[in-house]
């Protein structure tokens, strides 16, 4: 077995290196474009497995589930065909490293402090981890570039904004399209402010007041809008100037950020200077932040962690639009690459999440995809007009499977107890097991009947959600038999396709980095850095840029 680790062939230290990496990805993807164009719900209808090398599928259909789940992480098996191993390992070599960076090396002296219970209220483990790390990094960068005001773009319920305000004592503008989120942010800020005021009173510290995040409700549709909102609010800021940040000549520049190689000094805080920050700013919003950074003199740094690549607007080769979300760099535009929504959606796949599923969850996952693809056959043959509307039937399959799994466990427990009472106390030859003993053939038959029962419930639930309740003429059993023999190919196909996710995300991120590297008017230091633990936070790649 090989995990495909080790040094990467490619670098993105300069614009030419980044462009070379982009071209390498595009060239590699060309013979596998059938994966990108595929709608996996049409797995059975379009016989998608036939587009894949037959030797690969024959090999992988026999692989244990846990081995399949490691494919997106670049793990191969020694007995696989050479061409299959090359596919997986090349994808690994073309993808950005996702393991969390050494934050102390990247930001010397950085202190990531755990959040207190008041600030952490409402956060799950993932969000808490992200906020703790990102707030500390933003605070460090703000002090280095001499900015006092942070613009939290796509602020949601204000978790990041409040930590930056109360813990890092920065002025924060929280922008979000949802007025509800703004109300929640304001309400949380009032509760947090009371806590800090009481804490200060108890310690008899000087009451210096608090910088509470200012919330703005607007949908950021353009660079000009984000510039106008940020600049106008900074001008209205009537807070006193903070103490000048002390210069520290021992400070080192952010590892991986290139441009001026001399030591970076902390600068005096300037109320007119801004840092743009976005924690999973959706779709084009992340790209709008980069454009604003380049076009707005007041913005001294940007920290962007993107997500929802499927929501990116994409430039048509013949329909140039400088405001599209992909591609943004001249280099990627010159390559005339178009991904499409399916490929951009695939870029959101997490290799770490796949690897951590485990056998039971992996089987569960593959089975649900098989049910959905078989259900597409039902729609195709009996309600073809529905397919034209790209029907969404929700996630009821998972609920059905959970309910059924509980019934199976309960049934096995009852059978085991009965078996134990009947045999274990009377026969020395009885097997020492807590599970009932059945002939192998009956288990297989039972599984087949069981899966058909689940498929039937899945279909009827899906049809009900689409308002189609008359199912008397549908031959569910025939369709099940037609698809079941190929259902074991769903797992191999899905994981081979999911393995493209990390390299597609790499392409999107390199395009953004190259956009910054191509700018000649302003000297910019930029880098891509994995800030978070990828198991906790799959979208962990931060694009960080500073102006010299």
Q: What is the 3-state secondary structure (H, E, C) of 128-156?
A: HHHHHHHHHHHHHHHHHHCEEEEEEECCC
Q: Give Cα 188 distance to the centre of its chain.
A: 27
Tell me what percent of the chain is helix, strand and coil, each rounded to the nearest 5: 50, 10, 35
pLDDT of residue 185: 80
Query: CA-CA distance, 261 to 249, in Å (whole number)?
Result: 14
Closest CA to 149 of 248, 263, 275: 275
Helix (H, G, I), strand (E, B) or coil at 269: coil
Please report which helix (H) or strand (E) contains residue 374, including its range.
Answer: helix 358-382
- Segments of 308-425 assigned E as strands: none
- Domains of the chain: which residue ranges? 103-237+270-349+500-547
pLDDT of residue 373: 94
Query: CA-CA distance, 196 to 183, in Å (whole number)?
Result: 20
Measured on CA atoms in the order 13, 8, 499, 359, is the torsion positive or negative?
negative
Longest pairwise C-alpha distance within the chain: 88
Query: CA-CA distance, 505 to 96, in Å (whole number)?
Result: 9
Q: Give Cα 199 distance to the centre of its chain.
A: 37
pTM: 0.82
Q: What is 103-237+270-349+500-547's CATH number, 3.40.50.150, 3.40.50.300, 3.40.50.280, 3.30.1330.30?
A: 3.40.50.150
Helix (H) and strand (E) counts for the chain? 22, 7
Q: In what order do the strands lie in the sheet with 524-530?
A: 214-217, 171-176, 147-153, 270-282, 299-307, 541-547, 524-530
pLDDT of residue 447: 62
Polymer length in residues for the chain: 548
Q: 446 is written with which tokens?
A: 């039972």
pLDDT of residue 246: 33
- Residue ranges of the chain whose pLDDT lies below 70: 1-8, 200, 202-210, 221, 231-271, 317-322, 394-449
pLDDT of residue 235: 62
Which residues 6+ apart lie within 8 Å of 15 measured at CB? 331, 514, 517, 518
156-186 in b/e burial notation, b at 16+ Cβ within 10 A? Answer: bbbbbbbbbbbbbebbbbbbbeeeebbebbe
pLDDT of residue 422: 34
């Amino acid at each position: 077995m090989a995990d495909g680790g080790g040094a990467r062939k490619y670098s993105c230290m300069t614009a030419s290196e980044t462009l070379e990496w982009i071209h390498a990805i595009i060239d590699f993807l060309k013979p596998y474009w059938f994966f990108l164009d595929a709608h996996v719900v049409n797995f059975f209808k379009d016989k998608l497995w036939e587009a894949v090398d037959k030797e690969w599928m024959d090999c992988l259909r026999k692989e244990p589930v846990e081995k399949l789940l490691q494919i997106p992480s670049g793990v191969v098996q020694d007995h696989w065909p050479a061409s299959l191993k090359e596919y997986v390992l090349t994808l690994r070599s073309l993808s950005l490293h996702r393991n969390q960076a050494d934050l102390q090396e990247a930001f010397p002296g950085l202190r990531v402090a755990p959040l207190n219970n008041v600030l952490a209220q409402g956060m799950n483990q993932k969000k808490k981890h992200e906020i703790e790390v990102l707030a500390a990094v933003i605070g460090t960068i703000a002090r280095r570039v001499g900015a006092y005001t942070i613009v939290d773009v796509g602020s949601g319920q204000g978790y990041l904004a409040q930590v930056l305000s109360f813990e890092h004592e920065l002025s924060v503008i929280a922008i979000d399209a949802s007025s509800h989120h703004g109300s929640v942010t304001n309400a949380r800020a009032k509760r947090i402010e009371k806590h800090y005021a009481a804490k200060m009173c108890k310690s008899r510290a000087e009451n210096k007041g608090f910088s509470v995040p200012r919330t703005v409700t607007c949908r950021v549709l353009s660079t000009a809008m984000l510039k106008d909102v940020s600049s106008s609010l900074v001008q209205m800021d009537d807070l006193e100037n903070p103490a000048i940040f002390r210069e520290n000549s021992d400070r080192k520049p952010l590892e991986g950020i290139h441009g001026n190689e001399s030591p970076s000094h902390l600068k005096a805080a300037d109320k007119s200077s801004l840092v743009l920050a976005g924690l999973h700013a959706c779709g084009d919003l992340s790209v709008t932040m980069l454009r604003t950074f380049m076009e707005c003199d007041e913005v001294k740094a940007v920290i962007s962690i993107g997500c929802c690549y499927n929501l990116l607007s994409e430039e048509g080769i013949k329909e140039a639009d400088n405001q599209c979300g992909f591609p943004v760099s001249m280099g990627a535009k010159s390559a005339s690459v178009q991904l499409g929504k399916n490929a951009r959606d695939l870029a959101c796949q997490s290799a770490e999440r796949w690897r951590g599923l485990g056998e039971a969850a992996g089987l569960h996952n593959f089975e649900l995809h098989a049910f959905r693809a078989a259900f597409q056959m039902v729609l195709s043959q009996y309600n073809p007009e529905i397919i034209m509307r790209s029907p969404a039937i929700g996630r009821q399959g998972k609920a059905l499977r959970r309910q059924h799994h509980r019934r199976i466990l309960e049934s096995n427990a009852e059978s085991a107890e009965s078996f134990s009472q009947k045999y274990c106390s009377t026969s020395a030859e009885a097997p020492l097991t807590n599970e009932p003993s059945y002939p192998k053939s009956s288990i297989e038959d039972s599984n087949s009947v069981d899966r058909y029962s689940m498929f039937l419930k899945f279909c009827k639930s899906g049809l009900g959600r689409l308002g189609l309740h008359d199912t008397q003429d549908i031959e569910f059993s025939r369709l099940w038999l037609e698809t079941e023999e190929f259902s074991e190919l769903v797992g191999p196909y899905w994981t081979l396709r999911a393995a493209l996710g990390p390299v597609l995300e790499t392409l999107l991120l390199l395009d953004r980095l190259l956009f910054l590297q191509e700018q000649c008017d302003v000297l910019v230091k930029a880098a891509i850095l994995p800030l978070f633990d990828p198991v906790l936070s799959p979208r962990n790649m931060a694009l960080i840029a500073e102006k010299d």
